Structure 1
Amino acid sequence: MAKKLKAWIHVGMPGTGDVIEPALAHHHEALVELGVASLAHAPAESFRAAVEMTRAHKDWGLKRADVEGQWTRLVRRAQRTRSDLVFSQPLLAHAAPEQVALLVDGLAGYQVHVVVTTGIDDETATLGRWASAVRKPERLHVIETDGREPRDVWKTFGKLVGFGTASLRLDTVPNATGPVQSLPDALRELERLARRNASLEVRLEELDRKRRKLKRRLGQVA
């Protein structure tokens, strides 16, 4: 019998673990060579999927159509690699139980593992909500980040999922600078700005799509 593939969902509390999302997206091609497929190829993709799953599009000034079907598209694309899957997005820390269940439904056929990285906020409630996503307690993992450098957290995450990080450097990853743990207010502001930036990327993509559509119409008229 073929070994069942795994799907790793990283749910990070605000803090050093924030480096995982951009690192996975930036190194998505190299990760496939290591036997792991990152669902998102850019932070904007993971943001859009998390917004869809948490039904938070209005909170970010988006329309439902801007995010509709994003999670399914990412999963199907990654499935073509026939590898283990991995996904990371901090917004999932606030997902309600029914939203967690909906996300996991899209991973049917995979052995789901959830990895929670600690941060400046208490993770107890998040662990409780995401425990329902795994069938066995040993598939719910916690990585302590207090006092650790981003590269150490990234290395620990990679070891858990099953890939080495020696060639997947963080200094080449945009927005992978670790936040200062002693400044919780600054951390929250950085997280807010990062999420807002991802929201703007989604809007720009939509505007570009409309621009190309209008250009085609004008070409047909001419």
Structure 2
Amino acid sequence: MAKKQKAWIHVGMPGAGDVVESALAHHHAALVELGVASLARSTAESFRAAVELTRSHKEWGLKRSDVEGQWTRLVRRAQKSKCDLVFSQSLLAGATPDQIALLVDALAGCQVHVVVTTGRDDEAAVLARWQDTVRKPERLHVIETDGLEPGQVWKAFGKLVGFGTASLRLDGVPQVSPTLQTLPEALREVERLARWNASLELRLEELDRKRRKLKRRLNSAA
């Protein structure tokens, strides 16, 4: 019997665990070589998928059509690699049971694991909502991040999923800022700005697509 693909979903609280999303996208190609496929190849992709799943597009100034179908597309693309799958986005911490069910439906055939990293918010409610996603309690994992630097959290996450991080350095990975860990309110603002940045990146991608389309039309009419 063929080995069942695992799907690791990181739904950590905002905090030191934020590094996981950016690091997975930054090291996408290297991770595939290690047998792990990040569903998102950029933070814009992971943000778009999480916004779709949580139905929060209006909150971010987006249209439903901007994000519709994103999650399924990412899953299908990554499944072609035959690697274990991994995804991280802190917006998923606020997902409702119905939204979680939609996420899991796209992972049919995979052995789903959920990883929660602790942070500035209480993770008890998140654990309660996500525990039914996994069929066995040992597939629900918690990484305590209190006192840990982003690099230590990244290493712990890699060890849990099954890849080493020695060659997957955080140099050049955006949005890694451990110096503000003692300022909860400042960190919340940093997180908010980071999400808006991802939203703006998504809009710029759409504008660039329209620009290229218009250019093709003008060239064909010339």
TM normalised by structure 2 equals 0.98
Q: How many Å separate the matches in 2 of 1:64 and 1:178?
A: 34
Structure 2 match to 1:113: 113
Structure 1 match to 2:151: 151
Task: Mark the runs of 5 or more structure 2 residues left unpaired by the alignment.
Answer: none
User: How far apart are residue 214 of structure 1 and its match?
Assistant: 1.2
Structure 2 match to 1:24: 24
Q: How many Å separate the matches in 2 of 1:12 and 1:192?
A: 15
**Contact 1:44–1:201 (CA<8 Å) still a contact in 2?**
yes
1:12 aligned counterpart, secondary structure: coil
User: How far apart are residue 182 of structure 1 and its match?
Assistant: 1.5
Alignment deviations for residues 86-126 of structure 1 (CA, whole Å, 9 cap, x no partner)? 00001000001000000010000000000000001101111
> Given the alignment of the two structures, is residue 84 of structure 1 paired with residue 93 of structure 2, yes or no?
no
Change (3 A) 1:179 1:71: farther
One-letter amino acid of the counterpart of residue 181, structure 1:
Q
Q: How many Å separate the matches in 1 of 2:29 and 2:177?
A: 21
Structure 2 match to 1:208: 208
Q: How many Å separate the matches in 1 of 2:17 and 2:219?
A: 48
Q: How many Å separate the matches in 1 of 2:179 and 2:144?
A: 15
Q: How many Å separate the matches in 2 of 1:214 and 1:74?
A: 27
Task: Mark the runs of 5 or more structure 1 residues left unpaired by the alignment.
Answer: none
User: How far apart are residue 179 of structure 1 and its match?
Assistant: 5.5
**Aligned 1:189-200 pairs, distance under 5 A:** 189-200=189-200
Q: How many Å separate the matches in 1 of 2:88 and 2:214?
A: 35
Q: How many Å separate the matches in 2 of 1:179 and 1:108?
A: 40
One-letter amino acid of the counterpart of residue 161, structure 1:
V
Amino-acid identity (%): 78
Q: How many Å separate the matches in 2 of 1:179 and 1:106?
A: 38
Q: How many Å separate the matches in 1 of 2:62 and 2:179?
A: 27
One-letter amino acid of the counterpart of residue 4, structure 2:
K
TM normalised by structure 1 equals 0.98
Aligned-residue CA RMSD in angstroms?
0.9
Aligned length: 222
